[in-house]
A = this chain, B = another copy of it.
Amino acid sequence: MSSMFKVHILGCGSATPTRRHRPSCQIVDYRGNLLMIDCGEGAQLEMRRQGLKFSRLSHIFISHLHGDHVFGLPGLVSTMALHEKGGRLTIHTFGEGIKILKPLLDYFCRDTPFEIVWSEVKPGQTMTLLDTPSLTVQSFPLYHRIPCSGYLFREKPKARHLNGEMIKFFNIPIRDLAALKAGADWTRPDTGEVIANERLTTPADPSRSYAYCSDTIPSQLVAEAVKGVDLLYHEATYADDNACKARPRGHSTAREAGEIAREASVGRLMIGHYSKRYKSEDALLEQARETFGGEVIAADEGLIVEV
């Protein structure tokens, strides 16, 4: 079951693409539906490289309006228009993003075989942008040089598992099963006896959650917004050696990313948005581990992390 909710890294470098890392882009694969977060230049090529189907991409969430988080969008949408993709593609971005990006797509991507829907994200707010029977996606404020939002992917509580033998033993009709899955007790129609739900079901699988935080300074408010998620992606642009650069540029160090992860009691931390100066992520990883104390993963193009 765990492979039904995973994160693909398509780009985890900072502003300038290098030979080692592309600019920011991730894809959350939730039960085969692809949800993209940020869309740096080259996103379409990286999707193709990783065998991710354009036809399955339905939503794109843009964190903020710096070029390294959006310049892949026109190329991606143009290429999708040449492929089998139908239905709709919803692009979630600030009002300003709609103002600047919509004319561009209107011009270069006329006659797409799918509908492009623009969904306005309000900076500085927590908003539910997607609400399906099994998953919600919420935006929450990050704290960067310009308005910026993080995104929280959270599975809804799942159904309890029916105990087939007990269902059979009590001869419970199908019409009552949904209530059992939701946790209700069951009353025998013949005797009026109440059978506790725990006798008829086993616990639901845990609901998992993933939070994306890039770009941001370290903030208690962010730690609260991502409290207890199973997997946290937090930017770690700098190591200790360039810590002084982080704050004026609206970024975090790896050490600070680890602190936020610890304060938020997350399951695992993934770091990324590396400054181009680093030829290896070893120091960043080590420093994030020191403060977090738990498992830290270094994002890398092609990496797939199960949530």
A18 to chain B, nearest CB (A): 7
A71 lies within 8 A of chain B by Cβ: yes
Q: Closest CB of chain B to A300's CB: distance in Å?
A: 17
Tell whether A15 is near chain B: CB-to-CB under 8 Å.
yes
**Bound-state Cα–Cα, A82 to B48, Å:** 29
In the docked arrangement, what's the CA distance between A23 and B79, Å? 11
Q: A104-B100, A108-B65 are in contact. Are A17 and B41 (CB under 8 A)?
A: no
Please count how many residues in chain A sit with their CB below 8 Å of the partner chain's CB atoms.
Answer: 30
* Contacts known (A41-B42, A42-B42, A100-B107); A71 close to B74, Cβ less than 8 A: yes
Find A41's partner among B41, B100, B104 (CB 8 Å cutoff).
B41
In the assembled complex, which residues on chain B have CB atoms less than 8 Å from the CB atom of A109? 67
A78 and B74 form a contact (CB under 8 A) = no
Q: Which of A41, A66, A79, A100 has the most CB of B within 10 A?
A: A41
CA distance A44 to B13 in the complex (A): 15
Asked if A279 is at the interface (CB within 8 A of a chain B CB), the reply is no
In whole angstroms, what is the CA distance A72 to B23 when docked?
13
- Specify which chain B residues have a CB less than 8 angstroms from the CB of A65 in the assembled complex: 107-108
Instruction: Determine how many copies of this chain the complex contains.
Output: 2
B contact residues around A66 at 8 Å (CB): 108
The chain B residue with its CB closest to the CB of A276 is: B82
Enumerate chain B residues within 8 angstroms of A18, measured Cβ to Cβ: 48
Residues of chain B contacted by A100 (CB below 8 angstroms):
103-104, 107-108
Q: Is the CB of A19 within 8 A of B49?
A: yes
**Interchain CB contact under 8 A, B17 and A45:** yes
- Asked whether A45 and B48 contact (CB < 8 A) given A17-B79, A67-B108, A75-B71, the answer is no
Residue of B nearest to A72 (CB): B41
Closest to A22 in B: B45
Residue of B nearest to A15 (CB): B82
A68 at the interface (CB under 8 A from B): yes
Residue A16 interfacial (CB < 8 Å): yes
**Closest CB in chain B relative to A32 CB, distance in Å:** 23
Contacts A19-B49, A42-B41, A48-B19 given; indicate if A67 touches B78 (C-beta within 8 A). Answer: yes
Cβ distance A77 to chain B, nearest Cβ, rounded Å: 9
Q: Is the CB of B16 within 8 A of A79?
A: yes
Identify which of residues 86-102 in chain A touch chain B, using a CB-to-CB cut-off of 8 Å: 100
CA distance A204 to B19 in the complex (A): 43
Give the residues in chain B near A79, CB-CB below 8 Å. 15-17
Interface pairs A-B: 6 shortest CB-CB: A41-B75, A67-B78, A71-B75, A67-B108, A100-B107, A17-B45
For this complex, 13 residue pairs linking A to B, each with C-beta atoms less than 8 Å apart, are A15-B79, A15-B82, A16-B79, A17-B48, A17-B75, A17-B79, A23-B75, A41-B72, A42-B42, A65-B107, A67-B78, A68-B78, A71-B71
